[in-house]
Amino acid sequence: MAKIIDDETMENVCILAKLSLSEEEKEKAKAEMQKMLDYVEKLDELDTSEVEPMSHIFQDENVFREDVVTNGDNKEAMLANAPKAKEGQYQVPKTIG
């Protein structure tokens, strides 16, 4: 059963999207949304029972490098710049009473 975009639905969309549209703009947007829904409904008619699910349309693998730490743990040098340090951590003033 085809879902019809009515005036009430269009008004709710405008409220949720915080849009202020003229009547002409609402009619145009309503027609465009109806076309989208009709297209999705048409796609639902396709038999995809023999199609293997996939997570992405491309078969490419991750081409990014591994996340490898190259500068190491330089805790002592970082703490040397701290105004105060306590037990190997930055010591800051208490901000909540």
Structural domain contains residue 21: yes
In a domain, 78, yes or no: no
- Domain that residue 13 falls in: 7-44
- 26 located within any domain: yes
Domain count, the chain: 1
Phi, psi angles (nearest 5°) of residue 85:
-135, 145
Answer whether residue 40 is part of any domain.
Answer: yes
Report the distance separating Cα 5 and Cα 43, nearest Å.
18
Write out the chain's pLDDT in tens, 97 residues. Answer: 668 889 999 999 999 999 999 999 999 999 999 999 999 999 888 998 898 887 777 777 777 888 888 877 788 888 888 899 889 888 988 888 7
Q: Can you give the pTM of this predicted structure?
A: 0.48
Residues of the chain by 3-state class (helix, strand, coil), percent to 5: 40, 5, 55
pLDDT of residue 51: 86
| Domain annotation covers residue 94 | no
Query: How far is it, in rounded angstroms, from Cα 86 to Cα 92?
Result: 9
Q: What is the DSSP secondary structure assignment for residue 68, as one 8-state letter?
A: -
Residue 1 pLDDT = 60
